[in-house]
Amino acid sequence: MKLRAFTPKITDKPSHLPALGAAVLLSLSVAPSWAQDAEAEAHAGHGASAKTMEEMNHGAVSHDAMSMEMDMNMDDMSTMDRNGEMAPGMTHEGAALEKKDDMTDRGAMSMQGGAAPLDARDPHAYSGGHDFGPFPLRLADRHNFGALLVDRLEAVRADDDDFVAYDLQARYGRDYDRLVLKAEGDVSDGALEEGSTQLLWGHAVAPFWDTQLGLRYDTGEAPDQGWLAFGIQGLAPYWFEVDAAAYVGAAGRGAVSVEAEYELLLTQNLILQPHVEMTAYAKDDGERGLGSGLSDVVLGLRLRYEIRREFAPYIGMEWVGTYGGSADYARAAGKNTDEMRVVAGLRFWF
């Protein structure tokens, strides 16, 4: 069998495939007219916005002008009804006047100060003109208060003598000004050996501190003498109670006295109280056995038990030293210049 060679068949009719491919390419490359228009408008808008932003000067925009314009627009809208027309009976001139009055009222509301109305009530007067009648209003700093503190009322056992000692202070008055009475001394065998009484006017000059001005009068076995007294009394930092005074007497005599004490709370009722006192004189006084300079120093330690805050018994010890010219007078009189004492007594106040 003889094989024939394969030969493709060629016809005279044209193929439709190239034409179909060309149509598809043409449709993809050409967009609809409405899409082209929308796209053109969008690009045109972006261009205009960019141009506007570039040309806008932000520094020239005034926020106050914008706020004023908004207020004016709101005022204009307030004179119109819902349909955007002028309210009945309202003209443009009337709207402008109303708008001006409204702005004036707003300015008046924002203002402060000025004179009070003529019919304004006195803020310091009592309500409705009524007062407290025979009982006027008086605050705490205008009331008078009194107190008595007997700091030491004790029996003292010394090396060469036994006696009773007292130290008290009373005051009466107000917070800022008060009358102060101070008294201290020793009593032996029913007789006053030495005593000192001061009558002072106290004035508060700072929190916890009073200045005191007045008279001091000394009595006892020695001749009596008077002093002009000036001092300060108060509570120092760290709760030290301080009482310092200077005295001026006749014939150029002068004296300085300083006392300090501290209360150490071992418990709420058991209290340990150290005490120190120093006295100095400006010149010798032979009649009273006092020498110039530092005269005496007293160191004491007392332990008290407060049955109540107002009442407390105590026991303690006290050391007394005499110096300078006062020591010379004491030795000449046969007295000790350095002695230890045992004390027991009561402390109370009301």
23-35 pLDDT, tens digit each: 544 444 444 444 4
The residues, ordered by sequence, that sit 6+ positions from 339 with a Cβ below 8 Å of its Cβ are 158, 159, 160, 319, 320
69, pLDDT greater than 60: no
Q: What is the distance between the alpha carbons of residues 343 and 300, in angstroms, rounded to a whole number?
A: 10
332, pLDDT greater than 70: yes
53, pLDDT greater than 50: no
Instruction: Give the residue-averaged pLDDT of 225-253.
Output: 96
Residue 97 pLDDT: 47
Query: Band of the pLDDT at 21, cuts 50, 70, 90?
Result: low
Is the CB of residue 247 less than 8 Å from the CB of residue 259?
no
Residue 126 pLDDT: 56
Is the CB of residue 273 less than 8 Å from the CB of residue 264?
yes
Look up residue 145 and give its two tokens: 């208060």
Higher-scoring residue by pLDDT: 59, 174: 174
Q: What is the distance between the alpha carbons of residues 137 and 235, in angstroms, rounded to a whole number?
A: 31
H-type alpha helices, the chain: 17-29, 33-55, 63-78, 92-110, 324-332
Query: Band of the pLDDT at 98, cuts 50, 70, 90?
Result: low
Q: First vs last Cα of the chain: how many Å apart?
A: 156
pLDDT digits (tens, 9 = 90+) for 138-152: 666 778 999 999 999
Instruction: Give the residue-averaged pLDDT of 43-54.
Output: 43
Instruction: Give the residue-averaged pLDDT of 23-48.
Output: 45
Is the CB of residue 277 less than 8 Å from the CB of residue 256?
no
Residue 232 pLDDT: 98
36, pLDDT greater than 70: no
Is the CB of residue 159 less than 8 Å from the CB of residue 167?
no
Query: Band of the pLDDT at 119, cuts 50, 70, 90?
Result: confident
Query: Band of the pLDDT at 67, cuts 50, 70, 90?
Result: very low
Report CA dihedral (42, 47, 51, 54) to the nearest 10 degrees. 90
Residue 149 pLDDT: 97
Identify which of 335, 218, 326 has the alpha carbon closest to the alpha carbon of residue 281: 326
For residue 274, give the amino acid letter: P
Query: At which residue do the structure tokens 């490359």 appear?
Result: 29
Q: What is the distance between the alpha carbons of residues 278 and 324, in angstroms, rounded to a whole number?
A: 13
Look up residue 69 and give its two tokens: 């314009």
Instruction: Give the residue-averaged pLDDT of 271-295.
Output: 95
Burial (CB count <10 Å: 0-12, 13-18, 19+), residue 291: buried
Higher-scoring residue by pLDDT: 89, 321: 321
294, pLDDT greater than 50: yes
243, pLDDT greater than 50: yes
135, pLDDT greater than 80: no
Residue 12 pLDDT: 42
319, pLDDT greater than 60: yes
Residue 138 pLDDT: 66
Average pLDDT, the chain: 77
Query: Band of the pLDDT at 81, cuts 50, 70, 90?
Result: very low
What percent of the chain is predicted at pLDDT more than 70?
62
The CA R_g of the chain, rounded to the nearest whole Å, is 53
Query: At which residue do the structure tokens 């009466």 appear?
Result: 172
Is the CB of residue 231 less than 8 Å from the CB of residue 212?
yes
